[in-house]
Amino acid sequence: MALTYTPERPEFGQACPDFTLPGMDGKTYSLKDFSNDNPLVVMFICNHCPYVKAIEDRLIQLGTDLKNQNISVVAICSNTDIKYTEDSFENLRKRFFEKEYSFFYLHDETQEVAKKFGAVCTPDYFMFDGQLKLQYRGRLDDNWKEEDKVTKRELYEAALDLKNNRSLKPQTPSMGCSIKWKA
């Protein structure tokens, strides 16, 4: 496991890359399916990463809470499944239904979407405003390892601030396992 951090100085204002990917529900989705003039959260996750496993229930809660605010949440797995069989489409799909994920979950088998976004780790979060311009590239909350010690739901609070046209607070980079690229 290679610990990787997201960039400290993301390119805020960059446009959300377009994509068309298969979902765990058997449908195909593209960026236009999630554009509703409200913020959009795109997160790169996977099944095998201990950082993602530690926050999985919080991600499900985030999806529910943001859906209630009419904010779309989309997860994408871009890891190769050659050495990481937990991240195969079949295993991603199984976990999606088993845990009843509250967000859309897409598979980026070619890894082209992760490259377009500049995703580097799992989890890696990108939040775009209603005009689909990047406004947030920070972490989920202030304690990835111990849920009972979380005092700030940073991504959730930033989504509400963005939706309500309030200034975003300074962001702390996310960290996790590096994306498992194909050779």
pLDDT digits (tens, 9 = 90+) for 151-181: 999 999 999 999 999 999 999 999 999 999 9
Contact between 43 and 74 (Cβ < 8 Å): yes
Lowest mean pLDDT among 59-63, 92-96, 166-170: 166-170
Cα dist from 59 to 9, 56, 167, whole Å: 24, 5, 23
* This prediction's pTM: 0.96
Q: What are the pLDDT digits (tens) for 119-142?
A: 999 999 999 999 999 999 999 999
Q: Look up residue 91 and give its two tokens.
A: 């295993």
